[in-house]
Structure 1
Amino acid sequence: MTGWRLLLTRPAAENQALAATLQARGMHSASLPLMEIEALAETEQQRARALDLASYQAVVVVSKPAARLGLDLFARHWPQLPAHLRWFSVGAGTAQVLQVQGLLVSFPAQGDDSEALLGLPSLQGLFDGPPPRVLILRGEGGRELLAQTLRERGASVDYLELYRRVLPSHTAGTLRRVLHMERLNAVLVSSAQGLEHLCQLAAADWAQIAELPLLVPSPRVAELARAAGARHVIDCRGASAAAVLAALETHPAPTL
């Protein structure tokens, strides 16, 4: 795996943690955050959702920022979280944020995506009784498949949107320069919006960058990447460091 030289595009703190893991395995990486998390100011709708928390049977948390900001919001309105709630997360990293607060969280052992979560027996078990009410903690937009499928199964689903994802300010040509200076041979994105930001920043350089292997977290993002023109897409089936390493182990590093 040591031939891989990756461009990491997650928020800076996440890039730093992943870079350390890659370095321990002999891989070089460079960080160019293409995503910043901007918390939304508390709105009347957010407050109403929080105050209505006890009326839900389950809470689904789709990301670590959603977990942190959601817990902060609930702490402002609930001295103690309703005990009957069942908690679910899309991946192990998000689950860990919730578990630190003493919550029992179900999440898929394989795959950090909506499809894997929807296949969990514990999530399917919600439908053994009356149709459940489910609250999804997320950023602005995303995870439509998750809500759509739960509704098709009979659940009542609400969103609690807590943040927006913004593209940090980079000068024109930054992406091409970093790839060249660091002699990188692949790019990692962690979400559909991360892919969108990559294409946006690449601009006229996208045709060249699209020739590099592009590591993505799910089949859905892989499909979007191919539609955008990426020539060599690797689906990691998850956004965790373990998922990325597993994907790299099964694909030979390209030569520049």
Structure 2
Amino acid sequence: MTGWRLLLTRPSDESAALSTVLAEAGVFSSSLPLLDIQPLPISDTQQAMILALDHYCAVIVVSKPAARIGLDLVGRYWPQPPIQSWFTVGAATAQILTDYGLEVSCPHEGDDSEALLELPQMREAIARPDARVLIMRGEGGRELLAERLREQGASVDYLELYRRGLPQYAEGALPERIESERLNGLVVSSGQGFEHLRQLAGSAWPELARLPLFVPSPRVAEMALAAGAQTVVDCRGASASALLTVLRETRPVL
């Protein structure tokens, strides 16, 4: 895998952690964060959701920022969280909740909403009458999870905790970084991360679209292919281990 030279686009702290793991495996990486996590003020309605946390049969946390910000909020009002079912899409987010002392279920295969919906624990949690589910997430995002849960008879509330901004970079910063460090692969961890990649690339996107692009799910792969990316590799997860697995199976263009 030593031939890979990757651009990482996650928030700076997550990119730093991923870079360390990649370096241990002999993979060079350069970080250009394309997601700036900006916590949102909590409205009276959202405060009421937290105060009524024990009324939900399941709490779904969709990202690491949602876990960190959400748990901080829970701690303000619940010195001891109520006993209920907690779920995450990915293992890294689950670890944050586990470290907090919560019992968490997450898919072992695939870091996406579809895999989460297939969990037996999820089906069991919402099988009761008048099931209520709270989803902690960023501003906006996919509606699939809530739609499917509602189809199964559950009511769903969103607790939107942050928005994802694009950090400010000088014009041409992205292609210049790729050229100066001779990068031969791009890594994004979400659909919005990919959208920001295209936005920052600007007129250079057709050229950058020739580079292998590593994405976390079939949904993001479809987005990238529709936008003209020529080689899209679905890692079936956003974890470092998922990325390393596909890097071992994919030969870099040197």
State the AA in 2 paired with 1:209.
L
- Partner in structure 1 of residue 151 of structure 2: 152
Secondary structure of the residue aligned to 1:16 is helix
Q: Does 1:60 align with 2:22?
A: no
Secondary structure of the residue aligned to 2:168 is coil
- Partner in structure 2 of residue 7 of structure 1: 7
Q: Measure how far apart 1:187 and its partner are.
A: 0.3
- Partner in structure 2 of residue 172 of structure 1: 171
Q: Measure how far apart 1:126 and its partner are.
A: 2.0
Structure 2 gaps of 5+ residues are: none
- Partner in structure 2 of residue 32 of structure 1: 32
5 Å-filtered alignment, 1:107-126, equals 107-126=106-125
TM-score by length of 2: 0.98
CA deviations 1:187-206 (Å, max 9, x no partner) are 00000100110010000000
What is the rounded CA distance, in whole Å, between the counterparts of 1:4 and 1:152 in structure 2? 44
- Partner in structure 1 of residue 49 of structure 2: 49
What is the rounded CA distance, in whole Å, between the counterparts of 2:114 and 2:248 in structure 1? 23
Larger displacement relative to structure 2 (86-95 or 40-49): 40-49
State the AA in 2 paired with 1:53.
L
What is the rounded CA distance, in whole Å, between the counterparts of 1:103 and 1:94 in structure 2? 12
Q: Measure how far apart 1:109 and its partner are.
A: 1.1
- Partner in structure 1 of residue 193 of structure 2: 194
- Partner in structure 2 of residue 246 of structure 1: 245
- Partner in structure 2 of residue 137 of structure 1: 136
Larger displacement relative to structure 2 (202-211 or 108-117): 108-117
- Partner in structure 2 of residue 91 of structure 1: 90
What is the rounded CA distance, in whole Å, between the counterparts of 2:149 and 2:99 in structure 1? 27
State the AA in 2 paired with 1:111.
G
Q: Does 1:71 align with 2:71?
A: yes
Q: Measure how far apart 1:131 and its partner are.
A: 4.1
What is the rounded CA distance, in whole Å, between the counterparts of 2:144 and 2:249 in structure 1? 28
Identity across the alignment (%): 59
Secondary structure of the residue aligned to 2:108 is coil
CA deviations 1:11-59 (Å, max 9, x no partner) are 0011111011111111101000011100011211221111121111000
Contact 2:58 2:126 survives alignment (8 Å):
no
Q: Measure how far apart 1:252 and its partner are.
A: 1.3
Q: Measure how far apart 1:116 and its partner are.
A: 1.3
State the AA in 1 paired with 2:74.
F
Structure 1 gaps of 5+ residues are: none
CA deviations 1:69-92 (Å, max 9, x no partner) are 111111111222112x10001111
What is the rounded CA distance, in whole Å, between the counterparts of 1:111 and 1:247 in structure 2? 14
What is the rounded CA distance, in whole Å, between the counterparts of 2:149 and 2:253 in structure 1? 40
Count how many residue pairs are aligned between Structure 1 and Structure 2: 254
What is the rounded CA distance, in whole Å, between the counterparts of 1:45 and 1:198 in structure 2? 34
What is the rounded CA distance, in whole Å, between the counterparts of 2:170 and 2:85 in structure 1? 45
What is the rounded CA distance, in whole Å, between the counterparts of 1:44 and 1:51 in structure 2? 10
Secondary structure of the residue aligned to 2:79 is coil
CA deviations 1:74-130 (Å, max 9, x no partner) are 1111222112x1000111100111011110000111211111111111112224332
What is the rounded CA distance, in whole Å, between the counterparts of 1:130 and 1:253 in structure 2? 52
5 Å-filtered alignment, 1:224-235, equals 224-235=223-234
What is the rounded CA distance, in whole Å, between the counterparts of 1:90 and 1:166 in structure 2? 22
Larger displacement relative to structure 2 (106-115 or 215-224): 106-115
Contact 2:137 2:161 survives alignment (8 Å):
yes
- Partner in structure 2 of residue 216 of structure 1: 215
What is the rounded CA distance, in whole Å, between the counterparts of 1:93 and 1:132 in structure 2? 27
What is the rounded CA distance, in whole Å, between the counterparts of 1:74 and 1:100 in structure 2? 14
Secondary structure of the residue aligned to 1:54 is helix
